[in-house]
Structure 1
Amino acid sequence: MSRILARSTPAAPPAPPTNANHRTPLPLHLKKVARSWQLYVLLAPALIYIAVFKYWPMYGVQIAFRNYNPVDGFTGSPWVGLQHFIRFVNSYQFGQVVGNTFWIAVLGLVVAFPIPIVLALLVNQLQSERFKKFTQTVLYSPAFISTVVVVGMMFVLLSPRSGLVNNAIQLAGGEPIFFMGSSEWFRPIYVISDVWQNAGFSMIVYLAALSGIDPALHDAAKVDGASKLQRIRHIDLPGIMPVVTVLFILAIGNLLNVGFEKALLMQTNLNLPASEIIQTYVYHAGLQQAQFSYSAAIGLFNSVLNLVLLLTFNWVARRANQATLW
């Protein structure tokens, strides 16, 4: 009987083997990081830079809501809320400063944004590789010139006494014009010089996008008898439209950040009614007059406007089924 019970009773399952070196498997996202750890090492310096110089200074934004005193520090300075923002909006310079910034930004966007696209489309049609590289170099070279040098060149070329432009005007029977001291000429000079200096750099981005278009599309269009203009319209432009949309949204988000350095260098007492923009006004109020809280409030006001524009146009692009930032 005992033998029968012993045979019919199932044996206990063997204990699982114990392994002292057994490790819990990593989550999927950590496995991806581990497989590409070299890329994250290369990315680390950029992330540290952004964290230290972009995110950490955000702690100082609170001085826009305080009467900041360097002796008392951030926490010791009295809290005043929106007082500095109200002061800026009610100041007599508000309309002039914001208006100048807006008009320069809009002119720069309308004129400077499409020109690199046109240049990229034209350069892409060049057949000679040597001439194509030469053209790219000539158009891209001004981007390496310092803004200080560019403004100095403008003062020399537009000088009312010895400038080449005024010499040509006098040879044509006209009177010399003090371009750099005229409020009427400040905006055109600013935009034209900006196009000359930066159009080549932006052109490179669109050329890179054009290089990603399948050459078979152009070959098929040639077989069908399409002209160069038709191929640009129906192949090249649709091919780079996602890049154009993203760069346009980024340009809108940076619309009111008109170049401070060039505006300050071009600024004179004679053209001040047209050259005083938000950035130069913040410089005068913050560094020259030591109104730290007031200038911080103006800078934050400008950043909020840019953020609103960025979110608005990104939403419009998403509604239109175009490429967006997110």
Structure 2
Amino acid sequence: MNRIQVCTKLFSSLKLMTQSKVQLTRNMCASATAGTDKYQFQTLKLSTPSPFVVHVEFNRPDRMNAFNRQLWTEMKDCFDQLHNDPDCRVVVLSGGTSKHFTAGIDLFDMMKLGQELGAIEEVGRRGRLLEGTIKLYQDCISALENCYKPVIVAVHNGCIGAGLNLITAADVRYSTRDAFFSLKEVDIGLAADVGALQRFPRVVGNQSWVRELAFTARKFSSEEAFTHGLVSRLFDTREALLDGAVKLATEIAAKSPIAVQGTKKNLVYSADHTVQEGLDHIRQINMLNLQSEDFLTAIMASQSKETPVFAKL
């Protein structure tokens, strides 16, 4: 038996093995819904614009989506839950109805923190409170990167301080043409401490530009952000921005969740490791993925010219 005959026999066997599973998967996915009613947050709104796509919107329009302690906490909880939600394959994060994507950290909240510190006399204990607070903020930003589901951010108008830190942890960044950005921390007497100094240079690959922005806190436009690779697409209106983000999310959500999540996991890992370490890591992932039902489903769909439908993960 020659190689072509062997391959033909193999695909015939795979077809018999997977036909019933594929049909069952189609039935399961036909009624797929993210079930966002189970997410109960005050500073965030969740919806399902298309199957397996969850739209997360900031919901503090009266404060221009400024980050207070509740928003920091709910953001982390939200993305930790989405990470494990089989009804979610892709996340779109937007500024909702607010004038700005986010105005950055809520200074009123910082004043409350100052009052808490004032009530503690001993410097070591004040330091411990600050350490815990900073760690909460850092974990919130990292939750986007640690979530296995791709995160697409849709930025309109202002993206200031904490917002710029946040979007560097996302996978894809879109914005409107009227968007503007600022790494604002030095203007309030701080060094950015929740991820921008670590991720921003890696995202754009230009240390000189990032240091200029970090040292001066100057505002820069969407065109400048696009030129340097911080955002990958620009849109004329907020509506077009959101449509574009959801369209991309829908396309990704139709792919194998095992393949997409394995890809993100390795991209994140490889960013902080050598090429060889990244190759070793993906080899460990694919030694399992090559045995998955998704792999068989994709092969069968390719042979039959049908659109593959993948089970929840």
Q: Shared fold by TM > 0.5?
A: no
- Which one has a bigger Cα radius of gyration? 1
Q: TM-score range by the shorter chain?
A: under 0.3
- What's the TM-score, normalizing by structure 1? 0.23
Q: Taking CA–CA contacts closer than 8 Å with sequence separation of 6 or more, which of the two structures ends up with the larger relative contact order?
A: 1
